[in-house]
Amino acid sequence: DGGITQSPKYLFRKEGQNVTLSCEQNLNHDAMYWYRQDPGQGLRLIYYSQIVNDFQKGDIAEGYSVSREKKESFPLTVTSAQKNPTAFYLCASIGGRTDTQYFGPGTRLTVL
C-beta closer to another protein: residue 76 or 92: 92
15-52: b (≥16 Cβ within 10 Å) or e = eeeebebebbbebebeebbbbbeeeeeebebbbbbeee
Q: Which of 25, 34, 48, 74 binds another protein (CB under 8 A)?
A: 48
Subset of 58-77 contacting another protein (CB under 8 A): 58
Q: Smallest distance from the beta carbon of 104 to another protein, in angstroms?
A: 5
Q: Which of 67, 75, 79, 106 binds another protein (CB under 8 A)?
A: 106
Q: Residue 94 interacts with another protein (CB under 8 A)?
A: yes
DSSP string of 1-50? --SEEEE-SEEEE-TT--EEEEEEE-S--SEEEEEEE-TTS--EEEEEEE
The contact set with another protein (CB under 8 A) reads 4, 6, 31, 33, 40-45, 48, 50, 56, 58, 88, 90, 92, 94, 98-106, 108
